[in-house]
Amino acid sequence: MSTKPSKSLQTFPNPTPERDYHIHMQVPEFTCLCPLTGQPDFARIVLDIVPDRKCVELKSLKLYMWSFRDEGAFHEKVTNRILDDLVDAIAPRFLRVRAQWNVRGGIYTNVVVEHRKRGWKPAPRVDLADFDRAEPTAR
């Protein structure tokens, strides 16, 4: 596989397609360029995926994220493009892309975009917070 930036996202078969499960990824060093000034923009990109039949291969994801380094893009456009490209590559049941942009002009920007596969319904949320305590709580 190449060690140069690439827009190609490689995939592999989901090893457990019969089950909903959550894949959480963070890309803490995402960079692109401001389309107006050409100065670098920095962001943390957070991906939350419930895969369907395919998963994204991590090295190709790294090279894909790197491919934006020399491109000018508004925060909103690049966040939506990442979502669209991942949906095209892996057709997940659910995908959320959260881009947490570093300060520009004294303003922090967060852009959150989501995709839900038509007809997919998530299982009810299970909160296990009470089970994380070291000691039982007196009642």
Tens-place pLDDT, residues 28-83 = 999 999 999 999 999 999 999 999 999 999 999 999 999 999 999 999 999 999 99
pLDDT of 19 > 90? The answer is yes
Exposure class string for 51-69: b at 16+ Cβ within 10 A, else e = bbebbbbeebbebbbbebe
* pTM metric for this prediction: 0.88
For residue 27, being part of any structural domain is answered with: yes
**Residue that the structure tokens 């959150």 belong to:** 112
Tell me, yes or no, whether 133 lies in a domain.
no
Residue 68 maps to a domain? yes
In the predicted model, what is the mean pLDDT of the chain? 92
Domain total of the chain: 1
Tell whether 45 is covered by a domain. Answer: yes
Distance of CA 69 to the CA centre of its chain: 17
Owning domain of residue 52 = 11-117
Q: Which of the residues 34, 48, 84, 85 is marked catalytic?
A: 34
SS3 38: coil
98 contact partners, CB below 8 Å, separation of at least 6: 45, 46, 47, 48, 110, 111, 112
CA-CA-CA-CA dihedral for 39, 43, 49, 53, to nearest 10: 30
88 is annotated as an active-site residue: no
Q: What CATH code is carried by the domain that includes residue 111?
A: 3.30.1130.10
71 occurs within a structural domain: yes
Q: Is residue 89 part of a domain?
A: yes
5 domain-assigned: no
Is 32 annotated as catalytic? no
pLDDT tier at 131, thresholds 50, 70, 90? low
Residue in 20, 32, 41, 48 annotated catalytic: 41
User: Could you tell me if residue 73 is inside a domain?
Assistant: yes
